[in-house]
Amino acid sequence: MITPNDPAASTGALSEAAHAWTLPPVGSNPGTLANATTPGSFANQPRIAPGRRGALTFSSPDTPHMPPVSDKTAWDFLPEGWATWEGAAMTPGSRLDAKLTETAFIQSDGSLRHVIYPSDFTASTQLEFARLGIVSPQMSRVAEREPHLTAPQVRDEIAAGRMVIPANKVHLKYQLDPMCIGRASKTKINANMGASPVSSGTDEEVEKLRWAEKWGADTVMDLSTGGDLDGCRDALCRHSHVPIGTVPIYSMIIGRKIEDLNEQIVLDTVRFQAEQGVDYFTIHAGVLRSHLKYAKNRLIGLVSRGGSMLAKWMLHHSGGRRENLMNTAWEDICDIMREFDVTFSIGDGCRPGGLADASDTLQLAELQEIGKLTERAWRKGVQVMVEGPGHVPLDQIEYNMKLQRNLCHGAPFYVLGPLVTDIFPGYDHITSCIGATNAAYHGASMLCYVTPKEHLGLPKKDDVKQGCIAYKIAAHAADIALGIPQSRDRDDELTKARAALNWQKHFDLSFDPDTARAYHDEDLDVDTDFCAMCGHDWCSVRISKEIQEWASGKDEDMKWDKPKKTAALTAEQQEILEKRGVLSPDEIHMLASKTKKQLATGAAASAAPSTDDKKLSCHSDYVDAEDAKRIQKEKLVQVNVAPALNLPTHDSVI
């Protein structure tokens, strides 16, 4: 055993010759803490650069047999009459057609890009502004919210098609705070909500919107299929600070059979929702009639509502000889979306609904068609992200992410989960966030949350919270693993607070302070140098802090004065403990009113409620030492840990 005073301890790290291990290549450091001992991220070294040079951005190392990155970007799919190149200007003496205009701008890496476009062209979308080298106000706002990116880098990622800013011009007039989705940025999460024919309504959905925003949803999708659909959608757009997405086909079939759907209804509905301010549309244009034969032997067929309805439409019309009308009307849909700068979220109508159907021919054939739709939308100047599968075994997730990156040329991937097992209904927010963490690490840009009600019913308010928190965990874990700068800083600050046993800072830095505080006070409503998990003698954090030569727990900013009784529970914290059902209503009431007698002061504690100015008798600096030891032994079940740590009873350091 090396003790702090052992000469071997002063040599620092082991010599390289003594190492029995070799670290993999290290990417960037997700934290800014100077003295962190972790080597950093094991992801690829990031490269944020214009065009094809930035294809990997933040990415995971490939395991064998993974699809390569595409050698194309949105720059390769310009509208007719456009041209672009990097480097020198046109050949001296050459003349530009009078109907064309040339512009040139410095890209984020200092290189020069030239663009030729029609003289009568006026930019309408974020993609088109980026193609002209313009940094829009929305791009500048995104750079403020993504401190590791500059505004020109945001512009260049959008121009390459690897990033989108879902910001309908109408919604920008309300309360929308522009954000971005793309693998160069932090991982985002989406919360689904919406009224159904049997549950909820507009007021409840607006309340859930506010709740989802509170718990970290970066976008919200209104999937209403009942009630006042138009009114609910309008209310969400007017009250939302985050982008709103919809699936327009849900409104298209209200009051009519799917077989009666036609292109005019499609275009009218798309325009109406764009005029309301919807920021992105899920359009299921990738499922083709030639794909339907592959659904025959699937264990669970088509689980996408839009995909199944359009499959039925194709089978009904001319005996399956008519193509998906969303696909044939694609360019007309693009024109409307370009006018309002609505972003595509190209729907995966053939996504697997169970592990047995994952990565099958039907799913991947649709993905290939989605790649073509991406190219067609880019030629029309429309921003694109792509939706991905919902049930995928853990071993297939990387392949799915990297195949999409290849076929769709790096367009942001927006995935539902995926769930990595099918046997835990009621807990699918957990089964899916496991898959979501892997998906984000391997390339997904946004994660659609799954709640405990998935497959069972419409999520309620607490389900929304549970889904958001599960997916914030997944997104944050992936950002740290990818080495996104500063993504680990808050974790490091919390670790310093934990090491110093500074409970209040510990809770303040946590994502959900009320739950953390309530769970702590459930067992011990005292902020002191241990918790009820270990007690005093067993507290490894306290022991580490007391070893003088170690840095653990000695951060100046995390110092605290002395143990103190915690404040009364807030209403939110009371509700948390009531739902847990561990404490009786009387015990919760005592915590809320601070009349808890356990650990109170002296002999009078049994007769009078404790108050904030009373001392805490589990601490020997407040009462007789023997009395404190007795209370610790009786109430906190303390054990002498010194023998287990091979330390003498009167250790000079501890």
Q: Does residue 637 sit within a domain?
A: yes
Residue 264: its H or E element: helix 263-276
Predicted local distance difference test score (pLDDT) of residue 607 = 39
Residue given tokens 């697997």 in the structure block: 352
Predicted local distance difference test score (pLDDT) of residue 3 = 35
How many residues are there in the chain?
Answer: 654
| Tally of structural domains, the chain | 2
Angstrom distance (rounded) from CA 517 to CA 520: 5
Predicted local distance difference test score (pLDDT) of residue 2 = 29
Predicted local distance difference test score (pLDDT) of residue 646 = 53
**Two tokens at 99?**
């109907």
Predicted local distance difference test score (pLDDT) of residue 525 = 86
Angstrom distance (rounded) from CA 354 to CA 393: 9
Question: CA–CA distance from 340 to each of 169, 227, 337, 349 (Å)?
Answer: 6, 26, 5, 25
pLDDT band of residue 467 (cuts 50, 70, 90) is: very high
Domain around 97 = 68-159
Q: How does pLDDT run across 62-108, given as a tens digit for each residue?
A: 999 999 999 999 999 999 999 999 998 765 556 778 899 999 999 99
* Number of other CB atoms surrounding residue 255 within 10 Å: 7
Q: How does pLDDT run across 503-525, given as a tens digit for each residue?
A: 999 999 999 999 999 999 988 88
Q: Does residue 591 sit within a domain?
A: yes
Q: Which of 238, 336, 249, 260 is nearest to 287 (CA)?
A: 249
Angstrom distance (rounded) from CA 340 to CA 263: 19
Q: How does pLDDT run across 6-33, given as a tens digit for each residue?
A: 334 334 445 556 789 999 999 999 999 9
Predicted local distance difference test score (pLDDT) of residue 349 = 97
Predicted local distance difference test score (pLDDT) of residue 485 = 97
Q: Return the amino acid letter for 1.
A: M
- What are the residues facing 101 on neighbouring strands? 117
DSSP, collapsed to helix, strand or coil, labels residue 577 as: helix
Predicted local distance difference test score (pLDDT) of residue 17 = 62
pLDDT band of residue 583 (cuts 50, 70, 90) is: confident
Predicted local distance difference test score (pLDDT) of residue 293 = 96
pLDDT band of residue 579 (cuts 50, 70, 90) is: confident
Predicted local distance difference test score (pLDDT) of residue 487 = 97
**Two tokens at 91?**
């050949």
Distance of CA 561 to the CA centre of its chain: 37
Predicted local distance difference test score (pLDDT) of residue 194 = 83
Please identify, among 159, 180, 200, the residue that sits at the C-terminal boundary of a domain. Answer: 159
Mean pLDDT to the nearest integer, 595-616? 41
Predicted local distance difference test score (pLDDT) of residue 546 = 87
Predicted local distance difference test score (pLDDT) of residue 566 = 84
Q: Does residue 287 sit within a domain?
A: no
Q: Does residue 144 sit within a domain?
A: yes
Q: Does residue 120 sit within a domain?
A: yes
- What are the residues facing 181 on neighbouring strands? 164
The angle subtended at Cα 547 by Cα 543 and Cα 551, nearest 5°, is: 105
pLDDT band of residue 634 (cuts 50, 70, 90) is: low
pLDDT band of residue 651 (cuts 50, 70, 90) is: very low
Give φ, ψ of 258 to 5 degrees: -60, -30
Q: Does residue 328 sit within a domain?
A: no
pLDDT band of residue 605 (cuts 50, 70, 90) is: very low
pLDDT of 56 higher than 90: yes
Angstrom distance (rounded) from CA 592 to CA 571: 8
Predicted local distance difference test score (pLDDT) of residue 12 = 45
Q: Which of 177, 179, 186, 232 is nearest to 209 (CA)?
A: 232
- Kindly report the average pLDDT of the chain as a whole number: 88
On whether the CB atoms of residues 412 and 439 are closer than 8 A, the answer is no
Predicted local distance difference test score (pLDDT) of residue 457 = 86
User: pTM of the full predicted structure?
Assistant: 0.87
Mean pLDDT to the nearest integer, 414-423? 97
Residue percentage of the chain with pLDDT more than 90: 70
Predicted local distance difference test score (pLDDT) of residue 406 = 98
Angstrom distance (rounded) from CA 84 to CA 269: 35
* Number of other CB atoms surrounding residue 277 within 10 Å: 25
pLDDT band of residue 653 (cuts 50, 70, 90) is: very low
pLDDT of 608 higher than 80: no
Q: Which positions ≥6 away from 374 have C-beta within 8 Å?
A: 161, 346, 384, 386, 408, 409, 411
Predicted local distance difference test score (pLDDT) of residue 43 = 97
Q: How does pLDDT run across 179-208, given as a tens digit for each residue?
A: 999 999 999 999 998 877 766 678 888 999
pLDDT of 537 higher than 60: yes
Angstrom distance (rounded) from CA 628 to CA 631: 5
More confident of the two residues 535 and 55: 55
Q: Both ends of the chain: CA-CA distance in Å? A: 16
Angstrom distance (rounded) from CA 354 to CA 455: 12
On whether the CB atoms of residues 126 and 341 are closer than 8 A, the answer is yes
pLDDT of 423 higher than 90: yes
What percentage of the chain's residues is helix, strand, coil (to nearest 5)?
40, 10, 50
Q: Does residue 305 sit within a domain?
A: no
pLDDT of 598 higher than 60: no
Angstrom distance (rounded) from CA 141 to CA 139: 5
Residue percentage of the chain with pLDDT more than 70: 87
Q: Does residue 129 sit within a domain?
A: yes
Q: How does pLDDT run across 341-373, given as a tens digit for each residue?
A: 999 999 999 999 999 999 999 999 999 999 999
Angstrom distance (rounded) from CA 421 to CA 454: 13
Helix axis angle, 137-145 to 151-159, nearest 10°: 110
Q: How does pLDDT run across 218-233, given as a tens digit for each residue?
A: 999 999 888 889 999 9
* Number of other CB atoms surrounding residue 59 within 10 Å: 23
Please identify, among 127, 159, 191, the residue that sits at the C-terminal boundary of a domain. Answer: 159
Angstrom distance (rounded) from CA 626 to CA 628: 5
The angle subtended at Cα 18 by Cα 13 and Cα 19, nearest 5°, is: 80
549 DSSP 8-state letter: T
Angstrom distance (rounded) from CA 536 to CA 375: 63
DSSP, collapsed to helix, strand or coil, labels residue 446 as: strand
Q: How does pLDDT run across 286-336, given as a tens digit for each residue?
A: 999 999 999 999 999 999 999 999 999 999 997 768 999 999 999 999 999
Predicted local distance difference test score (pLDDT) of residue 200 = 66
Please identify, among 129, 159, 189, the residue that sits at the C-terminal boundary of a domain. Answer: 159
pLDDT of 630 higher than 70: no
Predicted local distance difference test score (pLDDT) of residue 96 = 78
